[in-house]
């Protein structure tokens, strides 16, 4: 297998593992606000590990990027909380596939904001996603929708944030590795301060209750972020994004077993429609 594709597949598996770990955390500790403080900080440690392995600069952002960093932090704080809230109250096999809508937000946003053209492949992909999502959410025999509104809000936020990310990392002022370290740290830090002031006991409960799971998050985040960056070096953005979205299938299958969600396997045909559409959108945009 080509090295780029190998890294892309590893990236999909790494993100699937990270999603499963985060679901495990929310199952043990249904406290999304506290987890939204802890998880980004552990991701920052993972990004630091990746940067140190590469020997990349890890300094703070320059003042010229403060305004962009502000919006990255604010929007990601909201997105991370909503993501963890969705995992806390919703079924993994119902809410995680909705992240496949993210490329659609990016494509439509690019069309309206930057005049990017949407080819036939993009429209076909959007149609597949629309059909799959409708069947996933509105099938009569499968009515549970807890966590869905939160995840749809995450889709909008995470679909738009990359536009800001791109402005930061393509300006030539700041390295990608340092950006990952500082952005994730700044996302978690305000919530950590809030938790320390208002509910310090909630941090203690999670830290004492799941030390091994928490410790495993940093290397998992390092693997996910590192393989994602490597895949972007060797693959077109669309191909890398398509492979990453395909990892949803692994997340749902394994999660269905680990978290005892028998409906996960019944939902798989609809999930595959959504994932196929997301892959088609991503691949079409890379052409």
Listed residue (199, 232, 223) closest to 21, CA to CA: 223
d(CA 153, CA 134): 17
pLDDT(32) > 80: yes
pLDDT tens figures, 101-121: 887 777 777 677 667 677 888
Average pLDDT over residues 126-130: 86
pLDDT tens figures, 235-282: 776 677 778 878 889 999 999 999 998 888 888 999 999 888 888 887
Q: How many domains does the chain have?
A: 1
pLDDT(37) > 90: yes
Q: Indicate the pTM of the whole model.
A: 0.87
d(CA 26, CA 89): 9
pLDDT(18) > 80: yes
Most confident among 6-15, 137-146, 233-242 (mean pLDDT): 6-15
Average pLDDT over residues 41-47: 92
pLDDT tens figures, 168-208: 877 777 888 899 899 999 999 999 999 999 999 999 999 99
Q: CB-based contacts of 188: which residues, under 8 Å, 6+ apart? A: 36, 37, 38, 39, 40, 41, 43, 44
Looking from the CA of 134 toward its CB, the CA atoms found within 13 Å total: 6
Looking from the CA of 233 toward its CB, the CA atoms found within 13 Å total: 11
SS3 144: coil
Structural domain boundaries, residue 34: 3-286
Q: Cβ distance 76 to 165 under 8 Å?
A: no
């Amino acid at each position: 297998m080509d090295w780029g594709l190998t890294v892309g597949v590893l990236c999909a598996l790494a993100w699937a593992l990270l999603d499963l770990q985060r679901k495990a955390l929310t199952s043990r500790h249904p406290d999304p606000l506290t987890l939204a403080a802890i998880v980004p900080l552990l991701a920052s440690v993972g990004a630091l590990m990746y940067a140190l392995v590469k020997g990349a600069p890890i300094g703070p952002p320059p003042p010229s990027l403060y305004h962009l960093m502000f919006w990255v932090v604010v929007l990601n704080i909201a997105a991370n909380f909503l993501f963890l809230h969705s995992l806390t109250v919703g079924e993994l096999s119902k809410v995680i596939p909705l992240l496949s809508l993210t490329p659609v937000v990016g494509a439509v946003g690019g069309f309206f904001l930057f005049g990017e053209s949407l080819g036939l492949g993009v429209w076909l992909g959007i149609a597949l996603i629309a059909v799959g999502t409708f069947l996933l959410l509105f099938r009569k025999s499968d009515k549970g929708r807890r966590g869905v509104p939160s995840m749809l809000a995450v889709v909008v936020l995470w679909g738009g944030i990359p536009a800001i990310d791109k402005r930061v990392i393509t300006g030539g002022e700041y390295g990608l590795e340092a950006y990952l370290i500082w952005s994730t740290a700044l996302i978690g830090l305000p919530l950590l301060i809030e938790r320390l002031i208002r509910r310090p006991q909630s941090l203690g409960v999670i830290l004492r209750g799941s030390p091994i799971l928490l410790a495993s998050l940093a290397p998992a985040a390092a693997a996910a972020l590192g393989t994602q960056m490597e895949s972007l070096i060797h693959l077109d953005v669309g191909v890398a994004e398509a492979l990453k979205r395909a990892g949803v299938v692994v997340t749902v299958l394994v999660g269905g077993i680990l978290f005892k969600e028998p409906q996960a396997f019944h939902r798989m045909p609809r999930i595959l429609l959504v994932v196929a559409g997301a892959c088609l959108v991503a691949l079409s945009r890379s052409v």
